[in-house]
Structure 1
Amino acid sequence: MSRHMHVGDVEARQPLLTGDHLDLSVLDSDEGEVIFDRRTSVIPHEAGGNIKQLTYEEAVEEAGFGLFHWLLLVVCGWANASDAVEILCVSFLLPTARCDLLLSSSDMGLLTASIFLGMMVGGYMWGYLADQRGRRRVLVVSLTVNGLFGGLASLAPWFWLFLLLRVISGIGVGGSIPVIFSYFSEFMPRLRRGAMISALATFWMAGNILAAGLAWMVIPRTWAHVSLGALDFQSWRVFVVLCSVPSITSALFFGLIMPESPKFLMKAGREKEAIHVFRLMFNLNMKGKDKTLPEFGLCTSSKPRGELEEIRAQGSQARCFTRVLKKGFVPVKQMFGGPLRTRSFALLVIFYCISFGYYGLWMWFPELFTRIENGGSPCANMSLPSTLHNQSCYPVKTAVYIEGFVIAASNLPGNIFTILMMDSTGGKALLSGSLMVSSLSVFLIYVVQTKAQSLGLSCVFSGVSVIAWNALDVVGTELYPTQLRSSALGFFTGVGRVAAIMGNVIFGKMVDTNCAVPILVVSVLLLTGGLVALLLPQTRQTELT
């Protein structure tokens, strides 16, 4: 077996026998670290046979593809859907909650931006922890934070408290979104990765439809209105509680039945645990088949023994904090330095443009449709918004929620198209093309004059923009190595949250006075993102490093 080791004690360089195979986690005398080549090798087995040493990609292929991966898709997909529900539920609250919480248009802009503020804080933090401590553990904690504080927001009697709880819930969402895709991709065979990540991304549509369907079924209903002492528990508060259920159940699934990522375990030098996961995958995938997985080892590399133990040995708490802070920014330096620089700057622009455009416009669709009930384009009558706050929000009109459901369902063609075309076309082409078409559809939303035309173009925007998001999910996981993957996705989703906050605040400030400006800015930004996407490298069916 070929491997590279630091010069050390002769005994330290000998492989150690553990159980029925060789333990290859040989420690360096100074760093406690060993680095293996990525080539398959064969070493003597203690029983007299030979045992293969597999790379990550080879081990994934040996584990097969089947039942385990479909179960993984359902669990990760439900978590992805729960994030969509938690993010998008606020947009369906606006037509009714604005009366109960006495919201102005600026307040509504802050409310739609609140969850993105939390996601901005949580995205990079959770991504960094996932690269250091493991994907599964971070998913359990972040999903719990998301669901718990999202549900508690339903009890908030004041706008500022509701806003605060939404921010905390957003911190949890910011952790689960990037980590889910890193975790999922690290179980996938190379030739199926693009299609399967695209399939995972379609669960965002499922969450969107679920949120719209719940809003349609619950918010207009009088049976969902109860009184809890001084708190008037309106139907929209019941809707908020129901929207927290997917996140809590997702946390339970990851905590009780899902294993840690084998790619992470290999990078952490935890060979035995990684082999156990590959065997679990094989047993489920080959269930009912007369096949056995032969003994094998893994080409792993061990990290220093835990960040916290190393930090504690360095001295005072102030110095510990400084070291942690410096370590936290190491991934950013690596992303924007060396060969990764061009792709990182390109992704920075793309995430900003698509997040500002998509969330800035999408979160306001229900409110815009409320304002064009009497016909015309969303920006045709500037005097209408000023009268809305003098009217009662009850009885609730169901038309707004029906339209939201239709727009959510219009994601389906785009998702199917992505699944069918991702592995053959590649994420780069789909990302660029869909952003450009999305730009055109948004511009036409501003131009059209009837409600039916606005609804139709909104459906086009929804169906095409989802292709860009799905392509970005695939490209983002394939552009960075394992030790940077979650950190990179967390950082860029954080950038996206800044853009989403700006988009929602700008819409809130200008929707009553100059509605055309934010809509046209969205169109320009989407076009810019589509052009910048052409600078990205082609990653179709590439190996994960």
Structure 2
Amino acid sequence: MSENNIKTVDPEKSKGLENDKDADGNSDSTAEAAATPTEEGPATFDKAIEGAGFGIFNLMLLIVSIPAQSAAIFESSSMSYILPVAECDLRLTLEDKGVLNAVAYAGMTISAIAWGYLADTKGRKKILYWGYLIDAVCVFGSALSQNFSMLVMFKFMGGLVVNGPAAVLFTYLTEMHGPKHRSSVLMIVGMVTSTATVSLPLLAWGIFPRDWDFEFWGLQIRSWQIYLFVLGIPSLISGLIFCSMPESPRFLMAQGRNEEALQAFKQIYHVNTRKPKDSYPIKALIQEVPNRKAAQNEVIYTIEEKSGEAPTKRQSRTLAESLRSGLQQMKPLARKPLLGLAICCYVMQFGIFLGMNTIRLWLPQLFASMAEYEVLHAGDGLDASMCTILEFSVNQTAKTALNYADACSEPKVISMDMYLNNIIVSATGFVGYFFAGGIIRALGPKRMMTYGLFLSGTFGLMLYFSVSSLMTLIVAAVFLTITGIAVSSLLGAVVALFPTQLRTVVVAIAMMCGRFGALSGNLLFPVFVQIGCLPPFIMVSSVLILSGILSIFLPDPAKAMFT
């Protein structure tokens, strides 16, 4: 009968259709078919995207990824640069500074599941343009903030919002490229991330020293608020550009909306080749999810076998249904051998992000305190050791909170050394990124991860023994570079060690644990600093060494059994 006319693509003709997977963990719709689509049947996703070519459209995608990825980095890291400058304006205590560093991560942590549901039901494009446009509103709102509470609210909302488009951006980029170009595209996005990190101190260097204080509609505007306003421009640009971009054809095919997917492929083909849309060589796509019964003597080509009758219509799932489906898919993670492996990865991600982001986000404050201390004690011959600087920073912050009139009677002048030190640390991480691939290939991912984490823990503790600003600069730069490479190694291991259908959810949970680690570390750091000089560095070092110990028990990703 009609139900029997729903057939699967011959696996021999499809060149291992069931085994080929997307870089983002999506299943076999991206497998490459051997048959020529126009001659022997409908095309798979990979065949269709290859037929659309690689050209101007892909270049446009990479260009828009620059402000888009920068927006996510700016949202999570911008507060660390304004803390020394806005201390008097916002009357910040040490705990307030920790909250400002952590609050964006709080928003990111609690919004992860909701954004995943929306991206899988509403599509990539809507999440991208609405997400970035709303984030721009949040960033501009933070730029107009007149007090601590207002700034915390907008930063929390910004973290809540930007988490969606930032995660979907990677999926969208991989779904717009064939297997040949995916790894190169993700490498370029990684370079954009490093460039954005370097641009933060460069923009601070260009804006903070300027005397740009003025009133706007009764609101007092200062240089640090102009800095935040500038950081909101990439979100606005990204949102506006994504309004004109097509929906991901991969998402459309997964939803059974093949006609819309075909139009998207034609648009990409037209932009890349400058030929008419009608000349696109592929005329039909494989029906991944049949949305109707086959007619008499008709065959509907599908990727995988479906049991029972094909649904007559693709039904939208409610949030509760999606959660139930997700929990059902995650059941293997609650049983051996994946349960212990998953918990190990989550604890490691928590520890690495706690150690790395605590130091990274407090460094601008430490460098500013060092510069201020060295100016005040220029002729005393006193060394700016780490413990001396922490004590000085605590005392200066307390003085600002308790005796605002005297401490803030004159505008704070931030030494040029603060900007230069932050630029050097960020640039070191950028350079380290280029060597990371070669180092991982030479040592292997597991050894690199283990050695890197133990070294990170050692350098984290070495910060306590720093006796000068130069030593602090060198140790901090090496610490953050090695820890960043260890993070990449861990995420690579997660992809290799878990079955394809679970990789996306494991990575999402791991990133959520990592952000919770960053949140925890930035809230605990000022508490430990007030207890003493050693406790914050013990915290950072211990979690990284613990992560290194756990990495020993991970299977070697190079010999992973799961595919």
TM exceeds 0.5?
yes
Q: Please state if 1:454 is matched with 2:452.
A: no
Q: What are the within-5 Å matches in structure 2 for residues 48-447 of structure 1?
A: 50-190=39-179, 192-222=181-211, 224-228=212-216, 230-257=218-245, 259-282=246-269, 293-295=281-283, 297-298=285-286, 300-301=288-289, 308=316, 311=318, 323=321, 326=324, 329-330=327-328, 332-333=330-331, 336=334, 341=339, 344-373=342-371, 374=374, 375-380=383-388, 383-389=391-397, 390=399, 391-392=407-408, 394-418=412-436, 431-447=449-465
Question: What code does the residue aligned with 1:385 have?
Answer: S
Summarize deviations over 1:401-457 as a string: whole Å, max 9, x none. 222122122222122224667789876665555444433332322222111011112
Summarize deviations over 1:135-169 as a string: whole Å, max 9, x none. 22222222223221121012222211211111011
Distance verdict in 2 for CA 1:287–1:420, change over 3 Å: farther
Counterpart Cα distance in 2 of 1:249 and 1:334: 42
Question: What code does the residue aligned with 1:462 have?
Answer: L
Counterpart Cα distance in 2 of 1:281 and 1:471: 34
Summarize deviations over 1:207-254 as a string: whole Å, max 9, x none. 2122211111112211x2112365331211111111111112111222
Counterpart Cα distance in 1 of 2:503 and 2:127: 14
Distance verdict in 2 for CA 1:282–1:488, change over 3 Å: farther
Distance verdict in 2 for CA 1:37–1:90, change over 3 Å: closer
Distance verdict in 2 for CA 1:292–1:267, change over 3 Å: closer
Distance verdict in 2 for CA 1:247–1:236, change over 3 Å: same
Summarize deviations over 1:34-85 as a string: whole Å, max 9, x none. x999684769x9xxx7333444445455555554444323322431111111
Question: What code does the residue aligned with 1:519 have?
Answer: F
State the identity as a percent.
Answer: 25
Distance verdict in 2 for CA 1:381–1:239, change over 3 Å: closer
Distance verdict in 2 for CA 1:414–1:220, change over 3 Å: same
Match in the other structure for 2:13: none
Distance verdict in 2 for CA 1:250–1:541, change over 3 Å: farther
State the secondary structure of the residue aligned to 1:410: helix
Counterpart Cα distance in 2 of 1:533 and 1:199: 28
Counterpart Cα distance in 2 of 1:449 and 1:460: 16
Match in the other structure for 1:494: 512
Summarize deviations over 1:386-408 as a string: whole Å, max 9, x none. 43133335233332222212212
Counterpart Cα distance in 1 of 2:179 and 2:446: 17
Q: Please state if 1:525 is matched with 2:543.
A: yes
Summarize deviations over 1:274-316 as a string: whole Å, max 9, x none. 344444455555569xx974545336235875665x55xxxxx
Post-superposition shift, 1:90?
0.2
Counterpart Cα distance in 2 of 1:350 and 1:78: 30
Match in the other structure for 1:317: none
Q: Please state if 1:506 is matched with 2:524.
A: yes
Report the number of matched residues.
499
Counterpart Cα distance in 1 of 2:340 and 2:269: 39
State the secondary structure of the residue aligned to 2:41: strand
Counterpart Cα distance in 2 of 1:293 and 1:431: 46
Distance verdict in 2 for CA 1:445–1:165, change over 3 Å: same
User: 5+ unaligned residues in a row in structure 1: which ranges?
Assistant: 1-9, 17-34, 312-320
- Contact 1:51/1:296 (CA < 8 Å) preserved in 2? no
- Contact 1:444/1:457 (CA < 8 Å) preserved in 2? yes
- Contact 1:196/1:419 (CA < 8 Å) preserved in 2? no
Counterpart Cα distance in 1 of 2:258 and 2:549: 43
Counterpart Cα distance in 2 of 1:272 and 1:485: 29
- Contact 2:74/2:231 (CA < 8 Å) preserved in 1? yes
Post-superposition shift, 1:477?
6.3
Q: Tell me which moved more, 451-460 or 296-305.
A: 296-305
State the secondary structure of the residue aligned to 2:285: strand
Question: What code does the residue aligned with 1:508 have?
Answer: P
Counterpart Cα distance in 2 of 1:300 and 1:153: 45
State the secondary structure of the residue aligned to 2:474: helix
Counterpart Cα distance in 2 of 1:383 and 1:186: 51
Distance verdict in 2 for CA 1:542–1:72, change over 3 Å: farther
- Contact 2:386/2:465 (CA < 8 Å) preserved in 1? no
Match in the other structure for 2:299: none
Q: RMSD between aligned alpha carbons? A: 3.7
Counterpart Cα distance in 2 of 1:163 and 1:64: 46
User: 5+ unaligned residues in a row in structure 2: which ranges?
Assistant: 8-27, 292-310, 375-382, 400-406
State the secondary structure of the residue aligned to 2:220: strand
Question: What code does the residue aligned with 2:226 have?
Answer: V
Match in the other structure for 2:18: none
Counterpart Cα distance in 2 of 1:430 and 1:283: 44
Match in the other structure for 2:2: 11
Post-superposition shift, 1:357?
1.3
Counterpart Cα distance in 2 of 1:343 and 1:88: 31
Distance verdict in 2 for CA 1:425–1:254, change over 3 Å: farther
TM-score normalised to structure 1 length? 0.79
Counterpart Cα distance in 1 of 2:6 and 2:128: 35
Q: Tell me which moved more, 67-76 or 165-174.
A: 67-76
Summarize deviations over 1:311-342 as a string: whole Å, max 9, x none. 5xxxxxxxxx7556545655554655577545
State the secondary structure of the residue aligned to 1:396: coil
- Contact 2:48/2:282 (CA < 8 Å) preserved in 1? no
- Contact 1:201/1:470 (CA < 8 Å) preserved in 2? no
- Contact 2:42/2:283 (CA < 8 Å) preserved in 1? no
Post-superposition shift, 1:185?
2.7
Post-superposition shift, 1:361?
1.1
